[in-house]
A and B are shown apart, each in its own frame.
Chain A
Amino acid sequence: MLTEAQIAGQLHAYYCRSYPHLGRLLEHDTDLLNDWFVDSFGVIQTVQFVEDTFGVAVDRADIRADNFHSVRSLAAFVRRKLGERA
């Protein structure tokens, strides 16, 4: 099973590729919703990416700020989902 660090690495690469933010560095604790520019469609795209890449099913109730707040919180969420599946 992927470690949380590996998941965070893939998410980080995804955001750098899909949501580049010139002149700013994306940290694992960067606030994606306020300090980056993940808009509401970005959240939907993230759901799609997470489901396709990690094979977990994201539910409506999972769309919460504490899950989508940062790369770190999102990685922890995916890890939790993978654990539930296993």
Chain B
Amino acid sequence: MARARLRGRAPSAERLREHDRHRPWVVLPVLAALLVYCWCYTHLAQWLGVPTPQDVVDGLGLALPEVIDQDGDIDAKLRVSHTRLFGSDDERLIGFAALFACFLSAYFLPLRHKKPAIVAWFFAAFAVLYGPRTALTLLTAHLTIYLLFHPTAPRTAAIAGAWAGLLTYLSLGDIGAAPAAAWTALAATAGASLYARLAAVLAAGGRAVAALRTGAIQACMITILVASAHEGLTGQTWTLPVGLVAWFYQWARLMVYRADYTDGEVPRDLALGEYLAVFLSPAGLFNLAYAPYLGQGYVYLRERHLAADKSALALSGVRLWCLALVYMVLAEQATQWFIAATQRILGVEVHAYTSELVRAHLRGDPISAPTVLLSTLVDQARIFLIYGGVTHFRVGAWRVLGYAMDTQYDRPWLATNLAALWGRFAFHFREFLVRVFYYPVFFTCFRRRPVARLVCATMVATVLGNLVWGHVPPATISHLKWSSFTRILSTWPYFLLLGLGISLTQVWLLRRPRARKPWTLDRRLPLDLLCAYATFQYFSLIHIYIRPQPGGSLAASTRLLLTGLGLER
């Protein structure tokens, strides 16, 4: 059953102290898990002169071509995005080392120093991986949000001075150290002085201030729109500073932060360190584009920090890391094994990727209904494994650092309806859509017409919110082109079918309340199995629309979908 995580109360000071009891031996399993990751995903084994993953696989006489990469370690799904200062293996090694150092700080330091330590380790690792300038760009972007939303917080004039100085420093070209220092100092002084006057206006609020804040929160989407249109008109592509790209990847979390703020849940005088701790943690160093909404906003993290005993949290994080490793290592290989077995036993041709299936269809290859059903199913299962592995690693990292974070991915194969499936494979994303899109519509529109109210809120969240704010940014942030923008928008039938499926499920559940808990061991268990298969198959099948290929069209995708349903030959 998809969980409900409602806003509640942060743990009391007494409870926090209870949960902060040291058990030093916990360091060992955390270190061991990270060493296993280093052995699998970096050159550590070669450096230490111990057998590499390739040696072990060869020694066991196994053939795992999808598991081992060219340099003898395990083909990695964990990546540090958008940087080339080091090789991929070294980047991962730095990331794992930063996580361990951060864990030691977050575990052993007194309560008041834990969050600042997490932020500090993030900046240290980020500056090494991306360069100091990129780290400063990211900091400047966050300072913009902080200054706009927290004008009454302590020391904001000094922070505004630092912001203005940083902005000036980052904008200046190579003009020499002395002129750069002079301009930076001048800008910092002016910024501090100006903000002291502006703070009262920001604190008073009003429409202009609200619009300014919305513009800042939506900077990612505004930039995507403007840059894509500019590229479409002129052919010139914008290249954004990587620090800004890293900040843009937090668009969904910024929107949840704004929703928390609007609901009055964020203290107006929130300290800068507390603000930065919401967004900047070494747990977010890997795979920026994978589940960028993990962690949600201020309220969620406030309630989850040390919400359980920190040692138990760390150990649950290590367990998640172990599970993540299994998922990530075996995803591709298991897919290949399944395809080979299906072809050998059933004689059915199966494509490993839905995109391959779509291309075969566009070429005019004969395709049977079982091929469509199995290919889409296999592709989706593979994606779930990889996605589950990467997000489990990241959630595990949050837990090791002291946050009782819910998993993004919770056994989606147990979902017996589409609404439950969505909550099971994308928990934090669903929470983002519910907070930012579903609730505002549900509590505003059609209050006296239950079905219209449900359908309207669901469609706004799953079609508009999911497509535009859920999928446009990750598809376009790195490719600010009109073609990228229109390509992702052209996948609208997937979102429409998903929205309709979830809406119908909800209306059905509203009209016919559940008579039993799914997966109860009784005579209706086979029905659960059938519902679980039908749910997963429908979800996999509609992905045909989200894998558009050159030469494809809405009609061609629909024909392939109908072929899968046995309605078209």
Contact = CB atoms under 8 A, between A and B. Distances in A.
Interface of A: 17-22, 33, 37-45, 47-48, 51-52, 57-61, 63-66, 68-69
Given A44-B506, A45-B509, A61-B264, 4 more contacts: A48-B450, A52-B450, A57-B447, A60-B263
Secondary structure class of chain A's binding surface, majority of residues = helix
B2 A63 contact: no
Contacts of B3: 33, 39-40
B6 to A, nearest CB: 4
B392 to A, nearest CB: 21
29 contacts: A17-B513, A19-B513, A19-B514, A33-B6, A37-B1, A38-B4, A39-B1, A39-B423, A40-B2, A40-B4, A40-B5, A41-B2, A41-B419, A41-B506, A42-B4, A43-B4, A43-B6, A44-B442, A45-B509, A52-B450, A60-B439, A60-B443, A61-B263, A63-B7, A64-B6, A64-B7, A65-B8, A66-B9, A68-B6
B510 A39 contact: no
Given A39-B3, A41-B506, A66 B8 contact: yes
A48 B420 CA distance: 19
Interface of B: 1-9, 263-264, 419-420, 423, 430, 434, 439-440, 442-443, 447, 450, 453-454, 506, 509-510, 513-517, 520
B551 to A, nearest CB: 40
B162 to A, nearest CB: 35
Contact of B454 (A33, A44, A51): A44
A20 B439 CA distance: 26
Which among A37, A40, A63 has the greatest number of chain B C-beta atoms within 10 A? Answer: A40
Nearest to B521: A22
Nearest to B522: A22
B7 A65 contact: yes
A41 B419 CA distance: 8
Contacts of A58: 443
A84 B510 CA distance: 28
Contacts of A66: 8-9
Contacts of B7: 63-65
A48 B517 contact: no
A10 B40 CA distance: 57
A52 B5 CA distance: 24
Select the residue from A17, A52, A57, A63 with max chain B CB neighbours within 10 A: A63
Contacts of B434: 40
A10 to B, nearest CB: 15
Contacts of A39: 1-4, 420, 423
Contacts of A20: 514-517
Contacts of B263: 60-61
B6 A48 contact: no
Contacts of A41: 2, 419, 506, 509
B8 A40 contact: no
Contacts of A40: 2-5, 423, 430, 434
> What are the 4 A-B residue pairs with the smallest beta carbon separation, nearest first?
A65-B8, A18-B513, A65-B6, A40-B4
Contacts of B430: 40
Contacts of B264: 61
Contact of A48 (B1, B439, B510, B514): B510
A44 B1 CA distance: 15
A48 B359 CA distance: 46
A45 B443 CA distance: 13
Contacts of B423: 39-40
Nearest to B502: A41
